[in-house]
Amino acid sequence: MYALIERLYPICRSITGPGVVETLEIIRQEIPVEIHRIASGTEIFDWTVPQEWSIRDAYVKDEKGNRVIDFKASNLHVVNYSRPIHATLQLKALRPHLHTDPAHPAWIPYRTSYYKEDWGFCLSQNALEAMSEGSYEVLIDSTLSDGELLWGECFIPGTTTDEIVISTHICHPSLANDNLSGIAVCVELAKLLMATQRRYSVRMLFIPGTIGSIAWLSMNRERLSRIRHGLVAVNLGDPGMLHYKKSRHETAEIDRVVEHVLKAAGQAHSIMAFSPYGYDERQFSSPGINLPFGCLSRTPYGRFAEYHTSGDNLDFVKPEALAHSLKTYGSVLDTLDRNRAFVNLSPMCEPQLGKRGLYDAVGGKSDTKTRQLALLWVLNYSDGKHDLLDIAVKSGLAFDLIADAADLLLGHDLLASAQRD
């Protein structure tokens, strides 16, 4: 995962353009990804697909010809989506187009101008203070023209057409945690999912932030009824603890499962209420769509100092954090896949388990008594109203023990699947 981040890090990405194409092609070398396109000017709900942006070079040169701001040194130096310009300006006239982060004077901030035609440069506060009065040559060699917006989908079919959707964004330039960590974890997660047979189909979306999810939802309205659970994967490589932002539903199965997985892991974590601000969960959870979509990240957006600055670099992302994030996502998907409601087919008093060999089936293990207890909990609460996660929470037993007990009871015709709402 870290090696993939290293490979993607130098690319200048935006919501459209060559950087997105290159990024999707690299992802497609790792996992099967279908690339979708939508033309500039297409109406998508209340939005319009913007023109495509590409950039070749940009700089600010002093009177001696030195590049005091150089796009080739860092692609954060240019305000993303800047229109082209070539002019000579006095520093006083140039200053309104220069953006810094005074709180972190050594870092270059990340700024965008997607939906308002403008131009600008980003630089460290230290570099700005070193600029003397005088004239500067300003060049942004960019193009804004009718083109396409792209996104990628990796679809992993399950035994049912019910879907879990995991969305990550691909629109940021050289920012390692906010953008690339989500891509890397999703790529590795897809590899793990493709190696096993599962009940749910899983759809991985690699999309530009905001406009990408709006485009996908607009173009896939007929599929929305199949989506049972959704997660936005972002900020998964920093050393902070895991945070889960609940879906708009707040008590949806995805909310209950993530909270249970985080709690069961026994590590520090945070559960946050839904708010209509953040990443693409706000589009999937908009009132007209209203899908159960949460956001599972490490440190949330805006809560780490390096956020949207050059401080979010390869040193900030930790391989052990990526591994922990991947394990957590895997546990969440495994729990969703095994969580079901059942009906006890022998509900008139406790069925005789010994004569069916069920006690022997769980015997000989260090936790034999616990496994026997799990059988009784599943039988007692399999009334079609409680799912296995409910039973795990009520019993205080590990979810996997409860799910294993249900599998065993199913095999002995003591349970049947219940119709879920």
pLDDT tens, the chain, 421 aa long: 999 999 999 999 999 999 999 999 999 999 999 999 999 999 999 999 999 999 999 999 999 999 999 999 999 999 999 999 999 999 999 999 999 999 999 999 999 999 999 999 999 999 999 999 999 999 999 999 999 999 999 999 999 999 999 999 999 999 999 999 999 999 999 999 999 999 999 999 999 999 999 999 999 999 999 999 999 999 999 999 999 999 999 999 999 999 999 999 999 999 999 999 989 999 999 999 999 999 999 999 999 999 999 999 999 999 999 999 999 999 999 999 999 999 999 999 989 888 888 877 666 666 778 989 999 999 999 999 999 999 999 999 999 999 999 999 999 999 999 965 4
- What pLDDT shows up at residue 241? 98
Element (H, E) at 405: helix 399-411
- What pLDDT shows up at residue 362? 67
Nearest CA to 280 out of 174, 166, 187 is that of 166
Scanning the structure block, which residue is given the tokens 């896939």? 220
Give, in order, the Cα–Cα distances in Å from 116 to each of 50, 119, 187.
Answer: 10, 9, 33
Q: Which CATH number fits domain 53-145: 3.40.50.300, 3.50.30.90, 3.40.50.720, 3.40.50.280?
A: 3.50.30.90
- What pLDDT shows up at residue 363? 63
Token pair of 187, please?
């790529």
CATH class of the domain whose range is 341-417: mainly alpha
Distance CA 282, CA 253 (A): 18
Nearest CA to 215 out of 416, 39, 75 is that of 39
Q: Is 131 left (phi over 0), alpha (psi -120 to 50) or beta?
A: beta
Q: Strand (E) positions, 254-349? A: 269-272, 293-297, 341-344
Coil, helix or strand at residue 333: helix
- What pLDDT shows up at residue 421? 40
Distance CA 251, CA 276 (A): 17
Ranges in the chain annotated CATH 1.10.10.10: 341-417
DSSP character for 285?
A: T
Nearest CA to 267 out of 331, 312, 193 is that of 331
Distance CA 291, CA 318 (A): 32
Coil, helix or strand at residue 19: helix
Partners of 78 in beta bridges: 121
- Where b means 16+ CB within 10 Å and e means fewer, 39-50 reads ebeeebeeeebb
- DSSP-based helix, strand, coil % in the chain, nearest 5: 35, 25, 40
Q: Is 201 left (phi over 0), alpha (psi -120 to 50) or beta?
A: beta
Ranges in the chain annotated CATH 3.50.30.90: 53-145
Binding-site sequence positions: 172, 178, 308
Fold of 2-50+148-338: Aminopeptidase (3.40.630)
Q: Are 74 and 168 in contact (CB under 8 A)?
A: no
Distance CA 214, CA 1 (A): 28
Binding-site sequence positions for Zn(2+): 172, 178, 308
